Structure 1
Amino acid sequence: MQRDKPGRLVDEGPRIAQIDFTGYRMRVPTDRYYSPEFAERERDRLWLRTWQIVGRCDDIPETGDWLEYKLFDQSWIVVRGRDDKIRGFVNACRHRGNAFCEGKGHAARFTCPYHNWSYGLDGKLLAVARPDFDGTLEEFVGAKEELGLIEVPVETFACFIFLNPDRDAPPLSEFLGEAVELLGPYRIEEMIPYGFNVREEIACNWKVVLDAFQEGYHIQGVHPELVAAMDESQERYVFCGDHSVATAPFGSSNLGDSSLEEQVAAIHGLPATFPAVADSLPRFDKLLANYRDADGKLPASGEVPLRTLLQQAMRQSWEAKGLDVGGLTDNQLSDNHFWILFPNFFLTIHAGEGTLIMAFPHEDGDPNRCYWHVQNLQWFPPEERATNRTPLRQVPEGEHYPYFLALEQDYEQMQHQQRGLRNKAQPFLTLTRQEVRLAHYHAALSSWVEPESPH
């Protein structure tokens, strides 16, 4: 039954008119986008204390595979151990502090090239070249027990590797809360990066990226070609602690005055933005044929449940491929859920595919620059995943990767916005009710960064 599925919480979530705005501040100080002082507080009170995604489990699939995660001037390594557990460590030798890993690689053990101290994949100190510790052999053995790599919390969810620089951090499940149950039925862990998987620098604050993907208000100005497919007035919202999710039905209101054939044509146009829909269209057309007359025409009046037919076709199509969509509601098959996992993770997802965008502060600390990582996720049967997986493309500084139209439009717009935000004569930006998720997001940010922060 639909009501037994976690996604119904979003299907039945409140619309804008049902939300109590009493507790929201609809003005956001602009200095949090350009102020070095605010960026420093973010570094210490947010980034060095919160869970954040550093990669995917399939980035390090084999024992001994490791990758480096850098944030500002800090560096950690995550590695898959001999027990298949993924662990995280400060990227510094316990002898003289040398950073011994850079980029990504594979190792049976970690050996610092400075003085050849070596560590196991579990972080334990294994050997010291020509040890000359004062005292007995027993005292040296005791020192080895104390001088392993400094471990930091690392956990996984949905094939994502989460790291928290704070060694006293609460469990990831506590941080994610309801998001675990709501995202679980999509089986993201069975998806792979496919088509594009890009990280590059962008000339804006990292929060400008997150802001851009929390509202549909800008579609009319930036993405006019999407107006027919998206109707922000029908959005529903659910807030899960610091995180949030919104959803809107595909074109249900925007196409209401169109003929049935025009609405069918619009559905056939969806794969331009959502390619996985294409595979379900033959089934959709077959179901639709039951409503056509002998001449192949749809009725001029009366209701044909196009949306329901599309959902039925998508469920049948995915089940035929082998994806278990039994935990998804009908709306989750056809409609996007727009997720924000605080602080820097955005995911547009529906059955079988999604687009992931993450934003990270620039390593030099300049609040006017950041990195974003854009990744398409796609479900494939297990035997097809290795050959279809798209590796990460790191765009060199000064170069640009050409994205699909909507994302390219966002890339340009966000940099225009940052230029305006730097004008110190404008002390705040003003949110509309359609931007309630931004109000919620910035309230969460304030709870971490402001002096009275409870975190």
Structure 2
Amino acid sequence: MPATRPGDWLDPDSGLGMGLDDVEPGTFNSTIPTDRYTCPDYAARERDAIWMRTWQIAGRVEDLPKPGDWKKYDILDQSFLIVRGKDDVLRGFVNACRHRGNALCIAETGNAKRGFLCQYHLWSYDLEGRLKGLLRENLAGPIDKAENSLLAASVDTFAGFIFLNPDPEAVSLRDYLGADVVELLEPYNIEKFTTVMDVTEAIECNWKVVMDAFEEGYHINGIHPQLLQVLHINPKTARYRFFENHSVAMAPFEVTGAGAQEQVEGMLALPETFPGTVAVIPRFQELLAPYQDEDGKVTFPDDVTPRALLQQATREVLTGMGLDVSGLTDSQMVDNQGWVLFPNYFMTVRAGECHVIMSRPHPDGDPNRCIWHVASYMYVPEDFRDAVRAEPIVVDTPGSHKYFEALQQDYEQMPRQQKGLRNDRLDHMSLVKEEVVIAHFHSVVDRFMGDPVSR
């Protein structure tokens, strides 16, 4: 049956998604060499093969609302500026004066209504990057202003995120994402979400350890036992779609075999891990009330489930708040879809909220360290956005910031894995079938790195 909405790929009858058994053995990497996590030479190759060639998320559009607003984006030893022009267009430039290479901006963000001024010799540039003036210009000699504009980097936006590619000749962002990815993500209206958490911190592991950790649910029983009350990753019901560079996976937000009472109690506890459900729970309780006795025990007829009531409550609440969820299926009301956008972006998204993990190499180039960036975005009516919008937090003292429970557990686990990966005799990791998203991710790494596919 043809899909009527992008989210219908989850239906096994749609023919669009894959179950785990549909992935033929050997399709993707299952044996991953450990030197890609620990070897300085491999990390140096990644710089040119991956980081200088791919689109990376550098912020949110809401970060730069006014002409002249700019922010800095650094990747390894490269520094870039993203600025909103007077024509409202976002542009990217290498953060270096064309005179003698002085960094134009040292702070993380600011406003340059009149353009950029190099503090070294007072060369100035407008918001379109054109060289406008220089100190004692009449004595400067044959300086061609047109040939000395700021060096461009590719910048574009999607879903409210600002993307940057260091390569000025990069394929368009839409082509890099692919039409299918764009179609599947657009109905969430993520561009209307507001930042409610934004934390950046150096962590003692390779950037790919972070990506791997969030690309599978195989570790939930070991690291996040509290989530088993509301989420059971059942390989038989998980669905996947794999694209050239990216992927999406979904496991139903339910506990297989749990009774109705257990499911209800788990759903009522959702706000502890998924803050977007705070607004939904009161309506869920209203829909639940006719099925509860005076002691709160629930009894449902065969055609009613706690999951269906939560889906209904979510759709009603978000619609009432002004978010268009008409393009989303009932599953997308409650089920987190896990997206991997290569190279370094992982997002779980459901109607009205998404949670993002990004990782990038540490600026010092040490493959045993990286920068991880965790952020959450929620739909909030416009009148309340300023009240809930979170300011960026940069953690300088390791361990000083406490994340919500599940994220804290991952934060503590990842450096432990890196310690093990550094053992010389451990030359590879062996993935199980459930870790197919990791396997696909590393197949993309292999392709960008020009390495033969290992299996």
> Is TM-score (shorter-chain normalized) higher than 0.5?
yes
Q: Summarize the Cα distance change of 1:84–1:290 in structure 2 as closer, same or farther, 3 Å threshold.
A: same
Aligned residues: 443
Query: Greater CA deviation, 206-215 or 383-392?
Result: 383-392
**TM-score, scaled to structure 1:** 0.93
2:191 aligned residue? 189
Structure 1 pair 253–98 and aligned structure 2 pair: CA distance change class (3 A):
same
In the alignment, the residues of structure 2 paired with residue 301 and residue 311 of structure 1 have an alpha-carbon distance, to the nearest angstrom, of 17
Distance 2:131 2:351 in 1: 45
Asked if 1:121 is matched to 2:127, the reply is: yes
What's the offset of the Cα at 1:166?
1.1
- The alpha-carbon deviation at position 424 of structure 1 amounts to 1.3
Identity %, equivalent residues: 47
Determine the C-alpha separation between the residues in 2 that align with 1:282 and 1:431.
42
User: 2:296, 2:228 → 1: CA distance?
Assistant: 29
Contact 2:30 2:431 in 1 (8 A): yes
User: Which of 78, 85, 91 is the equivalent residue of 2:89?
Assistant: 85
Matched, 1:19 2:20: no
Q: Give the secondary-structure state (helix, strand or coil) at the position aligned to 2:229.
A: coil
AA at the equivalent of 2:81: I
Q: Does 1:283 align with 2:283?
A: yes
Alignment correspondent of 2:56: 52
CA RMSD of aligned residues (A): 2.0
Distance, in Å, in 1 between the alignment partners of 2:11 and 2:394 is 37
Report what 2:433 is aligned to: 433
> Which residue pairs with 1:76 in the alignment?
80
CA contact (8 A) 1:53 1:163 kept: yes
Tell me, in whole angstroms, the C-alpha distance in 2 between the residues paired with 1:398 and 1:368.
15
Following TM superposition, by how much is the alpha carbon of 1:253 offset from its aligned partner in structure 2, in angstroms? Answer: 1.2
| Equivalent in the alignment of 1:228 | 229
Unmatched 5+ stretches in structure 1: none
Structure 1 residue runs of 4 or more that deviate by more than 6 Å after TM superposition: 293-296
Paired residues for 1:263-342 under 5 Å: 263-291=263-291, 298-299=298-299, 302=302, 304-342=304-342
Which amino acid in structure 2 is aligned with residue 246 of structure 1?
A
Amino acid at match of 1:44: D
Task: Please give the per-residue CA displacement for 1:209-229, whole angstroms capped at 9, x wherever unaligned.
Answer: 000001000001001111122
Secondary structure in 1 matching 2:269: helix
2:247 corresponds to: 244
Q: 1:248 to 1:145 in 2, by over 3 A?
A: same
Return the alpha-carbon distance in structure 1 between the equivalents of residues 294 and 396 of structure 2.
Answer: 59
Query: Which stretch shows the higher mean deviation, 180-189 or 408-417?
Result: 180-189
Local SS of the residue matching 1:227: helix
Q: How far off is 1:269 after superposition?
A: 1.7
Shift in CA distance, 40/309, structure 1 to aligned 2, threshold 3 Å = same
Q: Which amino acid aligns with 2:9?
A: L
| Mean CA deviation greater in 360-369 or 262-271 | 262-271
Question: Aligned equivalents of 1:420 and 1:296: distance in 2?
Answer: 48
TM normalised by structure 2 equals 0.93
Equivalent residue, structure 2, for 1:105: 110
Indicate if the aligned counterparts of 2:131 and 2:148 stay in contact, CA closer than 8 A. Answer: yes
CA distance in 2, matches of 1:296, 1:224: 25
Contact 2:203 2:370 in 1 (8 A): yes
Q: For the Cα contact (< 8 Å) 2:204–2:368, is it kept in 1?
A: yes
Q: Which moved more, 1:2-11 or 1:156-165?
A: 2-11
After superposition, the Cα gap between the structure-2 partners of 1:363 and 1:11, relative to the gap in structure 1 and judged at 3 Å, is farther
Deviation at 1:451, TM superposition (A): 5.0
Whether the 8 Å CA contact 1:11–1:331 is kept in 2: the answer is: no
CA distance in 2, matches of 1:10, 1:445: 27
Superimposed CA distance per residue, residues 288-311 of structure 1 (whole angstroms, 9 cap, x where no aligned partner): 344457997644874532211211
1:387-408 C-alpha deviation (Å, 9 max, x unpaired): 2110101111545311011111
8 A contact 1:230–1:251 mirrored in 2: yes
User: Hey, what's the Cα distance between the residues in 2 that align with 1:344 and 1:297?
Assistant: 45
Runs of 5+ consecutive residues of structure 2 not aligned to the other structure: none
